[in-house]
Amino acid sequence: MKWPRKKNNQQPSLSLEQQRSQKLAEIGAQLWASRQEQGLSLEQVVVLTMIPRRLLQAMEEGNLNDLPEPVYIQGLIRQFGDALGLNGAELAETFPINSPQVNSQATSKTSPLNQLRPVHLYFLYILLILCSVNGLSQLLNNAVLQASNIQESDLKQESIVKPEIVKPEITEPKQSIQVQPVSDTLSGVKQTEVVQIGVTLKASSWIRVIADGKTEFEGTLPEGTHRIWKAQEQLTVKTDNAGGVLMSVNQEKAKEMGEPGKEEEIRIAAAKPKLLR
């Protein structure tokens, strides 16, 4: 009796750009979960790493387009991971930079250089940041000195005695009417804030997300998935396993949506515009 042969279903290999995007999403979810467990905000991580907030947020969201070259991304991942108590070097090595080499001997010969180049470029990147900060501080100091000099010159001019000018008296004073400019009225309206939520799956769960009345996502997400959604007016999140979903609102500390195994639906509305008086 002959058994039927199984067909080999070979999946198409991913491009280097797709591999980077997929790996960055996994690393970002791990960094975000570690930061939430420690109760740290992005501003506190900025102080620890001296990395701009927009780059930290781009790494957590897996947004490859808002980050610099891959060699710099690897250095940022290493520094971010070390600040959270993780093994930053090991985590950064998982992010692909170059395509894999076919010849294993050539790979073993060039591996020391590949390990040294990102470190050198990383230090160069930090040096450029420090130079830009020093240059900005010098510009601010010059602006302060110029402002102080202008104030001193104004005080000297005011100290000079000016001849008194006698104005003729007005027998019938006219009542002045103050008209408030339209621009002042419009500036008193506070713009609507955008609402943002981030979810991290502790266990595989079904989720439906509705943003401003439009369904953005509906389906089952595996454990460890991290997603972020934004809306102008209202976000609605529904799940069949509230205890397996961690949700944070507007970068706040993540909390469980409810009890494990139970359905839960949460609606979050953006702040309405207010008239500033």
pLDDT tens digits, one per residue of 121-176: 666 768 778 757 676 767 777 765 777 676 766 656 655 544 455 454 555 545 54
Show which of 39, 68, 93 is a domain's final residue.
93
Q: Which of residues 272 and 171 earns the better pLDDT score?
A: 272
pLDDT reported for residue 12: 58
φ and ψ at residue 219, rounded to 5 degrees: 165, -175
Give the domain CATH number at 39.
1.10.260.40
Q: Which of residues 171 and 230 earns the better pLDDT score?
A: 230
Give the domain CATH number at 206.
2.60.40
CA 53, 59, 65: angle at the middle one, nearest 5? 100
Asked if residue 238 belongs to a domain, the reply is: yes
Q: How confident is the model at residue 83 (pLDDT cuts 50, 70, 90)?
A: very high
Q: pLDDT per residue over 192-203, tens digit each? A: 478 898 988 889
- Most confidently modeled of 48-62, 104-118, 158-172? 48-62
**Entry pTM:** 0.36
Q: Name the percent of the chain lying above pLDDT 70.
A: 64
Starting at the earlier edge strand, list the strands of the sheet with 245-249.
226-231, 195-201, 245-249, 255-256
Asked if residue 257 belongs to a domain, the reply is: yes
Number of domains in the chain: 2
Show which of 74, 93, 112 is a domain's final residue.
93
Residue 189 has pLDDT above 70, yes or no: no
Residue 27 CB neighbours (<10 A): 21
Asked if residue 160 belongs to a domain, the reply is: no
pLDDT reported for residue 46: 94
Residue 99 has pLDDT above 80, yes or no: no
Asked if residue 120 belongs to a domain, the reply is: no
Candidates 231, 221, 223; CA nearest to 197 is 231
Candidates 121, 64, 274; CA nearest to 188 is 274
Residue 54 has pLDDT above 80, yes or no: yes
Mean pLDDT, the chain, rounded, equals: 76
Asked if residue 243 belongs to a domain, the reply is: yes
Candidates 123, 35, 47; CA nearest to 84 is 35
Asked if residue 58 belongs to a domain, the reply is: yes
Q: How confident is the model at residue 225 (pLDDT cuts 50, 70, 90)?
A: confident
Asked if residue 102 belongs to a domain, the reply is: no
pLDDT reported for residue 179: 41
Range of the domain at 254: 195-269
Show which of 54, 71, 93 is a domain's final residue.
93
Q: How confident is the model at residue 190 (pLDDT cuts 50, 70, 90)?
A: very low
Asked if residue 230 belongs to a domain, the reply is: yes
